[in-house]
Chains A and B, each alone.
Chain A
């Protein structure tokens, strides 16, 4: 049976792909329901259903037999958090795909390259020192995006030798960039004399959490994600070509500079906004695209929608786990994703050694 599945992958026909997407959507729905049900406060499915219907229809379809607290737990705590989990997972997967096409390397992702750390350093600067205050309430997002951009440019600069990015160079420069920005963030947090409140919220960015989810945050994340996803989908063919290498992209007719500019811009904006909302959550952009490639192949037209669904699905599950494992306490979600992602990363490094062992 296992072998049979392996022979089928990656899915070739349109029907298979469509079936896969529909399955993912159903699974997503299922995990959504489970996710609403799970929490430190037990609420019956019936009440949850009624609360949701009332809010979605905007009137009291069902007579409220529950107290206000229950209502707010479901509608203002759990719901935005679940949708935010989806957006974060989907967005980080998309960032991973963009960075992998940009570097032509399947080990690239916002976390490995140190871009998330850059974003977090930018966000912390904005919070603690009040930088970018000209952006008003968007200053954290702006700071995070700027930090992400700086980190990406640095990481790419040091990873590129002779116009090529090797896995070793990529990982090494990622480690260094990440260490640099994390050190800066730590420095800011420990040496700031500002109120503990600010420090506390800065720490939260460093660990990665969906605990502070609100409808407003969810909305920003969602809008950024949808806009980026639509734009990326417009040049899915160019990404296929870019994946083959810069030389191939030029000779096949891609406007390389414009494409790279777009990819860098979109991936840093998206990473910046996601990190400013949820903090640094590692490995999602690495694991999800990799798994998705195995299932649907590397063509971006299929890869992007599938990875977005799987990424969102994965993140919702991780969020449930983070709430359940040490209940009633809560684990930071970055810890959960790292438990999945880090072993997978090691596995990829091993695998890479085997299949590309003969090459420089």
Chain B
């Protein structure tokens, strides 16, 4: 069943087309990675999907419904989002931060119930942060903050999660930890991924973008060929297969390409 569908989405910033006629589909339960060089329009596409931007043309459908016809509350119940929140100035306890994930499920003046707390606790447990309930959010390390934000997204109990470079700025161990956490959840994942090896390791399907357009779409081995990596990322690459069947990409800097 198709969960997320983007049809002919175009979005311009300062009359420059950042996302140009993008069409894509994500099926229920898939783990889909969005890859492409810096500035290719990944974040802008995602922002159109999670409603921070409104597409100039085209539309986004969630469970077959046009999201522009849904309220933010309704879409928050269907799709949770995790982006880096580095600019939070006001401190909250980790538990309170995670409980904000229940906002969409609350009516006006609806107070936090024991059930909300149970869900929040469960989410914290899923990301291995159950002991941090009483810690202040701003005192956490980058990796811990990311995990708390994932817990908040899980607390929304949506069937799908959209992430924008969830492993950015994290140590390598945390990068894999975050992806492991996402992989082990029973939800559809659509995430932009910076590191091609991580993308190849975790994603069922990759969508490769360049210059605001989708270049190709398929399994990691279909998408990540040495030629494409060379063309788009300006680096020579050797693509091999590991014992476990996953791709492994080795890079070889080549000054003539840049």
Contacts and interface: CB of A to CB of B under 8 A. Distances in A.
Given A234-B109, A247-B52, A247-B83, A256 B72 contact: yes
B161 to A, nearest CB: 10
A349 to B, nearest CB: 13
Contact of A104 (B76, B81, B87): B87
A104 B90 CA distance: 8
B115 to A, nearest CB: 16
Contacts of A298: 90-92
Contacts of B222: none
Contacts of B134: 12
Given A235-B108, A241-B103, A253 B73 contact: yes
16 contacts: A12-B134, A164-B87, A237-B103, A243-B90, A244-B100, A246-B52, A250-B50, A250-B51, A250-B52, A251-B50, A251-B52, A252-B100, A252-B101, A253-B103, A297-B93, A297-B96
A246 B81 CA distance: 13
A244 B80 contact: no
Interface string A240-260: 110111111011111110000
A253 B90 CA distance: 20
A237 B73 CA distance: 13
Contact of A251 (B81, B89, B93): B81
Interface secondary structure of B, over-half rule = loop
A212 interface: no
Given A106-B89, A245-B88, A247-B52, A255 B100 contact: no
Given A251-B76, A253-B72, A297 B92 contact: yes
Contacts of B101: 252
Interface of B: 47, 50-52, 71-77, 79-81, 83, 85-93, 96, 100-101, 103-104, 106, 108-110, 134, 156
A293 interface: yes
B101 to A, nearest CB: 7
A298 B110 CA distance: 19
Contacts of B92: 240, 297-299
B12 to A, nearest CB: 16
Nearest to B88: A244
A164 B52 CA distance: 13
A214 interface: no
A342 B74 CA distance: 45
A105 B50 CA distance: 24
Nearest to A254: B72
Nearest to B91: A298
A106 B91 CA distance: 11
A359 interface: yes
Contacts of A248: 83, 85
A239 to B, nearest CB: 10
B93 A254 contact: no
Contacts of A100: 90
Contacts of A105: 89
A106 B87 CA distance: 12
Contact of B100 (A240, A247, A250, A293): A240
A255 B72 contact: yes
A244 B85 contact: yes
Contacts of A245: 85, 87-88
Contacts of B86: 359
Nearest to B51: A250
Given A105-B89, A237-B106, A297-B93, A252 B156 contact: yes
Contacts of B75: 253
Contacts of B79: 251
B174 to A, nearest CB: 19
Contacts of A234: 108-109
Contacts of B74: 253
B100 A106 contact: no
Given A246-B52, A252-B76, A254-B72, A104 B108 contact: no
Given A237-B110, A247-B47, 8 more contacts: A240-B100, A245-B87, A245-B88, A247-B50, A253-B76, A253-B104, A297-B96, A298-B92
Nearest to B83: A247
Nearest to B47: A247
